[in-house]
Structure formats: C-alpha cells, structure tokens
Amino acid sequence: MLTLVLFVQLAVAGVLLTSGVAKLRGDANRNTWAELLGRAPEPFRRLHAVAMARLHVATEVLVGVTLLLGTVVPAVVMPALVAAALLFVGFTGLALHSAVTGRTITCSCFGASTTQLGWAHVARNLVLTGLAVSGAMTSGLVTAVDSMPSRPGHAAFAVLGAVAVTALTYFFDDVVDLFAPRTLVRSGARSRAV
C-alpha cells in the first residue's frame, strides 16, 4: 500500500511541477488565460490574464511541492491529492467543453507549446483525476511511522513509475500525434487516412 501511495504522490507531483515550471517559459499560458477570460461571462472578463496565469502556475507548483513534502510529512498528502484532483477535474472540464462544443480551447498544458484541447485530453485528464482520487483515498492509511516503503526496491519502483507517468504526460501530445491517422498525398490529390 505504501508503494502505491508513494507512486501516486510522486507521479502527481511530477506532472504538476513539470506543468507549472514549463509554463514559466513564454507567454502561452497568459495567452490561454486571455482567451478563456474573453469567452467568460462579464464579471469574469474583468480578471487580469497575467494574474490568473501566475495564480495557475503558483497553484500547480504549490500542490506539487506539497506532495513532495508529503514524503516526510504524511499529513499533507491527502489534502494535496484532493487539491490535485480538483485541478484535474477543472482541466477535464475545459477539455470536455472544447471537445463537445467545437469551440476549441488552446492549451499550454506543458509550457510554451500550445495544442487544441480535445477528446484525448479528456481521457488523459480523467486518468490523472482517477490517480489523484485513488491516492487521496488510500493515503489515509499511511501514518507518520510508515510513511515510506520499508524496502528500497519498493521505493525505487514507485519513483521509476512516477518518472514514467510524468514523462508520458509531459510528452502526451507527441504520443497522440505519433499514433494519429495520417492522410497520404499523391500527385496533388488527397487519399484516405492510413
């Protein structure tokens, strides 16, 4: 159980920290917030895009750091995973809105590059939400005495798994693009998707 909680804790921390820190590069996150606030009802349009972008980054980084702190202070793990789950629910809602309405939302999920949110992002965010929720539910079983797995191999397994989840999430759009159907172009005419 401890290995599972540590894995979830580190995986969610890795995703949030890479996402938050990557957003510090360039203006893509600010542009996303300007786009979102431009579509929002009137009272929300008064919010400042730069302030919202900074708050967004600060929240992701704060929750990620809190999850790392949870390796020595287990009491913070459950609240941090609940906060992460709420963030992921919000991200899922944006992706779902973009996919269902056709009013695409450009997201700078991991930094300066942007992508159009769609069904693949809904699936990714649902998995991340499930990961955070399952971690929050099981983290209550961890006490201060046994906050880390007793065997180094179990801890290493949790760390390696978390690194894999973080990397897969960070490069998610590239992986989706790699397996997306391609359209062949022959002699100037388009043929069917492969």
Q: Write down the pLDDT at residue 191.
A: 46
Kindly tell me the burial class for residue 114, based on how many C-beta atoms sit within 10 Å of its own C-beta (0-12, 13-18, 19 or more).
middle
Around Cβ 134, how many Cβ atoms within 10 Å? 15
Q: Using one digit for the tens of pLDDT, what is the confidence trace for 51-72? A: 888 888 899 999 999 999 988 8
| 135 or 189: which leads in pLDDT | 135
Q: Write down the pLDDT at residue 192.
A: 46
Is the pTM for the entire model greater than 0.85? no
Tokens 């797995």: give the residue. 149
pLDDT tier at 185, thresholds 50, 70, 90: low
Q: Token pair for residue 101?
A: 């309405």
Amino acid letter, residue 164: A
pLDDT tier at 180, thresholds 50, 70, 90: confident
- How is the chain split into domains, by residue range? 2-193
Q: Write down the pLDDT at residue 147.
A: 56
Q: Token pair for residue 134?
A: 């399952």
pLDDT tier at 129, thresholds 50, 70, 90: very high
Alpha helices in 23-144 (DSSP H): 28-39, 42-45, 49-69, 77-101, 119-139
Q: Using one digit for the tens of pLDDT, what is the confidence trace for 140-168? A: 776 544 556 667 788 898 899 999 999 99
Residues of the chain with pLDDT > 70, as a percent, come to 88
What's the CA gap between 145 and 35, in Å, rounded? 47
Please, what is the end-to-end C-alpha distance for the chain in angstroms? 44
Residues of the chain with pLDDT > 90, as a percent, come to 37
Q: Using one digit for the tens of pLDDT, what is the confidence trace for 86-122? A: 999 999 998 898 899 888 888 888 876 778 888 999 9
pLDDT tier at 26, thresholds 50, 70, 90: confident
What's the CA gap between 53 and 20, in Å, rounded? 10
Containing H/E element for 183?
strand 183-186
